[in-house]
Amino acid sequence: MSLSLFLVQLVNGVEYGLLLFLVASGLTLVFGVLGVLNFAHGSFYMLGAYLAWWLSARTGSLLLGVLIGVPAMVLIGLVVERLAIARLYSRDHLSQVLLTYGLVLLFNELQSVLWGNDVHGVNTPAALSWTMRLGETQTWPAWRAFTSFACICIAIAMRQVVLKTRFGMRVRAGASNAEMVEALGIDVRRLFSTLFAAGTALAGLAGMLAAPLTTVYPGMGENVLILSFVVVVIGGIGSIKGAFFGALLVGLADTFGKVLLPGFASAMVYAVMAAILLWRPRGLLGAAAEGR
Amino acid sequence: MRRQVLLLAAAVALAAVAFSGDRFWLQFLGKAMIGCILAIGLDLLVGFTGMVSLAHSAFFGLAAYALALLTNRLGLVSPLVTLPLCIAFAAAAALVIGWLSLRATGVYFIMVTLAFTQMLFFLFNDSPALGGSDGLYVQARPVNSRLAAYVVIWVALIAVYLLLSRVLRAPYGRVLEGIRGNEQRMRSLGYPTRRYKLVAFVIAGATAGVAGYLDATLYGFVNPAQLGWRQSGLILVTVLLGGKGTLYGPAFGALLLAFIEHYGEQVTEHWNALIAALVIAVVLFLPRGLAGLLHGNPRG
């Protein structure tokens, strides 16, 4: 493998990993703090991508699409939490799997009714449609660089919020012991709905950033959902740091696997996950309570 | 009592269809009964032992692929040879995957089984020697006429149902229910609970293998999508919809879903929305599934 090819794979792997992190961070927090196994999280990614396509076609600008789309995703998150997820807090994981699986079917039908089943391309903004040279032979689109940069900014912002604010403190407390947080008199309902809406918006944003790279198509949320589960489990449930490193690991394994072991690339990610779980049954950085 | 009457009526009705000889109904109900076998097998794990496995479709698919490879590569056709071999293969895979997965518990167990399922899916999907994403044709089916296949499926469903209810009535089944209630307590009572769970996992894997073998026999075709997590998710939904921990509930759940799919498709292309609405309504209003309707208090 030449140096420039290696570099391209490296930056693409990191970029893919960072996008996965946006999806997985919401999943791991909803899982760790709310105790809800949310199969519909991939649908939010899909909805984000479709909103980016639809809104940018309407407004003529992807940037405007994102600016309208993210608040829309927050709203969707609040509504889904209030109408469906909130009824599951006291129920077992099985009911959660069943209900959120129902939501996945519902969102898929919604997408097919509203936007049809065609594949759509999304144009990158004119200012970011150039490519940069990487070594002798390879190029890297500016949109990928921008996506990576945006994801890194968001990751740093999340770190600040989680470590430095009162809200973040409650989130961390909730991830290690949700019942205790409730017993301390903190308004858990509000904490939960805020957190769920934030996770929804992050997954939606990841879909919007990915839309110009992957095109927009039915079922696009599913692959991301399963990979995000892999990330969450590798990192340890409820751990944002774990999700970050897990996402980079999965992103790199997937990207390099496609070049080095073309026939085995997709299976490899799952083999890595199985190996890590057999070595550390709670994930790399997981310390969540029994049965979670 | 109501339950036995209902079960007997359903078994007789399904048997009666064989005499109609209608090609569509034989195929349709044959497929639906294969769904019943899958659902009651998973119920042994989910409903009775409290293990939520997403690997059920993997054993289904492995047995189906085993049949295709045995007939295409080795020329083995007779069901007397291929059926035991395929079931043994599925059971052996369940032994290995179960032994590894049972090191994890709770949600992590669900995820490890999901990882193995997806790993196998991509192994078959990405390897041209195993048919790739197109799948494989079974070049000579063990049972040729559709009627004979239907009868075999009917017999298999009854046999699996009786076997599982026998297992659950035996002291072994009581231990499984004890594990579902409180695994710690069963362990302190001296039961090697992991071994008990592993045996249950292998039995369930073998029944999924029966279903996979029958499916490949009925359709003469196998593809990787049958192995993937979506399929496992659907079986899990069937179990919960019908009512976990009842055996007959998941069987009726599978029949109901087959009918909804068939008639829904004729009414609207968005029939999945019907299933979504049904699933959501059952979670919110019938926590014990449709089987809860047969009992006095469906909510409780």
- pLDDT, tens only, B145-170: 888 899 999 999 999 999 999 999 99
**Closest CA in chain A for residue B54:** A97
Q: Do B116 and A108 count as a contact with CB atoms less than 8 A apart?
A: no
- pLDDT of B296 over the 60 cut: no
- What are the backbone dihedrals phi and psi of residue B296, each rounded to the nearest 5 degrees, phi first? -60, -40
The structure's pTM equals 0.87
What pLDDT was estimated at residue B300?
A: 45
Average pLDDT over residues B212-227: 92
Single out the residue of B87, B58, B57 nearest to residue B70, CA to CA. B87
What pLDDT was estimated at residue A185?
A: 83
Q: What is the DSSP string of A151-186?
A: HHHHHHHHHHHHHHSHHHHHHHHHHH-HHHHHHTT-
Mean of per-residue pLDDT scores for chain B = 89
Q: Do A97 and B116 count as a contact with CB atoms less than 8 A apart?
A: no
What pLDDT was estimated at residue B214?
A: 94
Single out the residue of B157, B168, B172 nearest to residue B207, CA to CA. B157
Q: Do B119 and A292 count as a contact with CB atoms less than 8 A apart?
A: no
What pLDDT was estimated at residue A72?
A: 95
**Chain A residues near residue B240 by CB distance under 8 angstroms:** 94-95, 97-98
d(CA B260, CA B39): 16
Q: How close is the nearest chain A Cα to the Cα of B44, in Å?
A: 15
CB contacts < 8 A (A, B): 129
What pLDDT was estimated at residue B66?
A: 95
d(CA A274, CA A71): 37
CA dist list (Å): A25 to A151, A203, B90: 12, 9, 36
What pLDDT was estimated at residue A143?
A: 84
Give yes or no for a contact between B38 and B60, defined as CB atoms under 8 angstroms apart: yes
**Residue in A101, A278, A282 nearest the CB of B237:** A101
Of the ranges A126-135, A269-278, B75-84, B280-289, which one carries the lowest mean pLDDT score?
Answer: A126-135
What pLDDT was estimated at residue A287?
A: 58
**Chain A residues near residue B287 by CB distance under 8 angstroms:** 91, 95
**Closest CA in chain B for residue A102:** B276
- What are the backbone dihedrals phi and psi of residue A133, each rounded to the nearest 5 degrees, phi first? -80, 140
pLDDT tens for the 292 residues of chain A, in order: 777 788 888 888 899 999 999 999 989 888 888 888 888 999 999 999 999 999 988 888 888 888 999 999 999 999 999 988 888 888 888 888 888 989 998 999 999 888 888 888 887 777 777 777 776 677 778 888 888 888 899 889 888 888 889 888 888 888 777 778 888 888 888 888 999 999 999 999 999 999 888 888 888 888 899 899 889 888 888 888 889 999 999 999 888 888 888 777 778 888 888 788 778 877 777 654 333 3
Of the ranges A143-147, A172-176, B32-36, B237-241, which one carries the lowest mean pLDDT score?
Answer: A172-176
A229 touches chain B (CB under 8 A): yes
**Closest CA in chain A for residue B125:** A263
**Residue in A105, A263, A278 nearest the CB of B126:** A263
Q: What tens digit of pLDDT does each residue of A96-127 get?
A: 888 898 999 899 999 988 888 888 888 777 77
What tokens were used for B78?
Answer: 């007779």
Q: List the single best residue of A30, A39, A101 to mutate versus B (max B Cβ within 10 A).
A: A101
- With H, G, I as helix, E, B as strand and everything else as coil, classify residue A124: coil
**Closest CA in chain B for residue A83:** B284
Q: How close is the nearest chain B Cα to the Cα of A292, in Å?
A: 6
**Chain B residues near residue A285 by CB distance under 8 angstroms:** none
Q: Do B107 and A222 count as a contact with CB atoms less than 8 A apart?
A: no
- What are the backbone dihedrals phi and psi of residue A120, each rounded to the nearest 5 degrees, phi first? -120, 140
- pLDDT of B87 over the 80 cut: yes
Q: Do B279 and A105 count as a contact with CB atoms less than 8 A apart?
A: yes
* ipTM (interface pTM): 0.82
Give yes or no for a contact between A75 and A90, defined as CB atoms under 8 angstroms apart: no
**Chain A residues near residue B123 by CB distance under 8 angstroms:** 264, 267
**Residue in B108, B126, B240 nearest the CB of A281:** B108
**Closest CA in chain B for residue A95:** B283
d(CA A285, CA A270): 18
